Structure 1
Amino acid sequence: MLTTLAMAGYRSLRELIVPLGQLNVVTGANGSGKSSVYRALRLLAMTARGGVIPSLAREGGLQSTFWAGPERFSRAMLAGEAPVQGTRRHESVSLRLGFSSEQFGYAMDLGLAVPGATQFGLDPLIKLECIWSGPLWRPSALLVERRGATLRNRDEKGQWQTLPHPLASFDSMMTEFADPLSAPEMIALREQIRSWRFYDHFRTDADAPVRQPQIGTHTPVLSDDGADLAAALQTIREIGDAEALDIAIDDAFPGSHITLTQHAGRFGIEMRQHGLLRPLSAAELSDGTLRYLLLVAALLTPRPPELLVLNEPETSLHPDLLPALGRLIVQAATHSQVIVVSHASRLIAALEREPASRSIVLEKELGATRIREADHLVLPAWKWPAR
């Protein structure tokens, strides 16, 4: 389980250290930085899939995603006694992302190329990556370290050895080096990150693939877009918790149940509702009903991930469905660490009633995201590795 999430220099996240528990609820007013936290976590997940630089490019590049405020706030600025203005920089431009658990920690530091050195001068460069043992970075706990193109790790005697595998500035060590003998912790951490799942804004419009019959195969993990919903629900029926599936449907729509159809290998969904003489197909279901079924398939997966992240799962749902969704999320948190980003008060209240839940309320101060009442909280210790 992750215990700490750390982000610095990304959008409104000048520097944010977030404590994590088994069930985490990230909330706050519009514009407080909830989406930035979600995007930063997705960027971290892309390190294990080689997609950090392309992901930043889709967001407009490092220049668009980098913190736009001053490097530091003076006391006079914080007190409102002086205007917010830029000063001479003391540190290099940097976007840093990291996390830690009781077992391992990981951090990445991205920066800019030397002007004129390449035609790709606006591409972010991976300046530093490191993996350490335990929850807090310190030199003695380092296991693997990448600086520029050089990668080194500790051998079985604790001595540093440089690995003969120079890295390109745009490649993460997590995808470019995989030796189970010299760096087993890198493989373990990479597979942990690859198991993370993210769900947000499923398509439920009239032309969405989920509304049409799809060729079905065993689907223990619902796809990001939810197009394989029917196959995922049938997989839950056959190798997952079929009873929990029926309970989840009846909890949200009393007296209703779903049937999975199959014709020439194409799977479809039919939903019988109390009072109707015939079942409704996926093409006939409302956006909210279909979205709830998608969340059911994601949360009742027969292969629970180590980390499951839901971004605004309440979208398109009627408020009366949120307590049922909350119960599903709580159930999923018994098998996976869960992070929910939401501003739906009814869903938040349902989740915060759970003893294992942790509420993370965000707010803005001079454009920078912070945790509300952070000065009164016991935040986890965190130290960024120096370049």
Structure 2
Amino acid sequence: MDLPVRDVSASGYRSLRDITYPMSRLDVFVGANGVGKSNLYRALELIQAAAANRLGERLAAEGLDRALWAGPRQGRTPTRLALAVTLSDPGRREAAYRYEVEVGFPPPTAGAFAQEPQVKLEALTYHSGGKRLRMMERRNNAVMARGTDGRPAEIDMDLLSSETLLGRLEDPARYPELDLVRRTVLGWRFYHDVRTDAASPLRRPCVAVASPTLDSDGANLAAVFATLAHIRGDTTDLDAAIDHAFPGARLDLPPPVREASFGLRLPEFPQRVFEPAELSDGTLRFLALAGALLAYRLPPFIALNEPEASLHPDLMAPLAAMIATAAKRSQVWLVTHAEGLAQALAAHGAVRTVSKVEGATTIAGLTRLGVFRDEDD
């Protein structure tokens, strides 16, 4: 069972001073360069990093001093960044799980490197009918978790200050709710590092193994296509998307043996199969997006950061059609500079304008409570 994202919060992270965003099936973010659209995207990646026990590593790679909000602070509040996500419980309409984590610098006396990110607070809370039940809580090194018996208990474990409890406490039998949240967040996919250069894995065959979902780097694209064609036996949506983007073209998908491969037949050369190594960057990128959005099994949450890069304007309508189709099976979060793409998706989801006010990222109409003002106000 996957848990849909209800909202995501971030404070003290880069230009995200304090923001809570309520999610829908399809959320599209537009705005000028430098307003913080990518910071919203990165905040989601950091939540996944917490589930993978790599949050400290990711923030250390960014440089915690550079990742923290650089603007003014209130009083003597500690220098921290906070991330949170609320996941709906599909089995109970008003119920939800909320995961929160706060990170800051270690004190001078701590057994940690001077600039090493340290988890100060971490919690998983179950909300239902106005009641809140702490399923897990960690304050510095003190850890409590509620097992299947329903009783909270302190846990003695070797937990470094840079590690997350969400990523470390792996005991599905004893802590099923924690495991459910972790698996759901780890199932998210972020598609922004899909390379199309000459050495890109997209341009080479891959191991022939059934692949229902495209990897974040797109390396299993050929296997994703082969799974649709030779295991599911249905490439209707994929064929329609290819024809919409490149009229008259069609994919060539030979039955895999040890490796899976694909090619493209173009209408002007119907007897010739163009292999991935011969395709333009834009054509290959569109095919990778088709693999991400039309795969046999979509992840519960898909994030796309400027998918229009290297695509011709004529491909915006076919891309929008694929995104709208994917949003029927998954939640989609899209950051784009392409006004045409955003306009094409306006009928299918929420298009939000992102800007900066006094250095802080803001979303038009969004209040600090995480709700949008009525358009009539």
TM-score computed with the length of structure 2 as normaliser: 0.89
Q: Distance in 2 between matches of 1:190 and 1:13?
A: 24
Alignment pair present for 1:150 and 2:142: yes
Match 2:33 to one of 30, 35, 39: 30
- Which residue is 2:108 aligned to? 115
Alignment pair present for 1:20 and 2:14: no
- Which residue is 1:384 aligned to? none
Change (3 A) 1:281 1:143: same
Matches within 5 A, 1:56-75: 56-59=59-62, 61-72=63-74
Shift of 1:263: 7.8
Match 1:247 to one of 230, 237, 240: 240
The 4+ residue runs of structure 1 with deviation greater than 6 A are 135-138
Change (3 A) 1:8 1:371: same
Q: Distance in 1 between matches of 2:49 and 2:129?
A: 22
- Which residue is 1:94 aligned to? 80
TM-score computed with the length of structure 1 as normaliser: 0.87
- Which residue is 1:6 aligned to? 9
Matches within 5 A, 1:106-255: 106-115=99-108, 117-118=110-111, 120-134=113-127, 140-154=132-146, 159-240=151-232, 241-255=234-248
The one-letter amino acid of 1:344's match is A
Change (3 A) 1:69 1:378: closer
Q: Distance in 2 between matches of 1:272 and 1:190?
A: 42
Unaligned runs of 5+ in 2: 89-95, 373-377
Match 1:269 to one of 259, 262, 265: 262
- Residue 301 of structure 1 aligns to a residue whose secondary structure is coil
The one-letter amino acid of 2:260's match is F
Shift of 1:216: 2.6
Shift of 1:300: 1.2
- Residue 210 of structure 2 aligns to a residue whose secondary structure is coil
Alignment pair present for 1:337 and 2:331: yes
The one-letter amino acid of 1:131's match is L
Q: Sequence identity of aligned pairs in percent?
A: 37
Shift of 1:131: 0.7
Change (3 A) 1:319 1:165: same
- Residue 307 of structure 2 aligns to a residue whose secondary structure is coil
Change (3 A) 1:237 1:27: same
Shift of 1:340: 0.9
- Residue 279 of structure 1 aligns to a residue whose secondary structure is strand
Range 6-15 or range 219-228, more displaced: 219-228
Aligned residues: 360
Matches within 5 A, 1:308-347: 308-347=302-341
The one-letter amino acid of 1:96's match is A
The one-letter amino acid of 2:197's match is D
Q: Distance in 2 between matches of 1:243 and 1:131?
A: 41
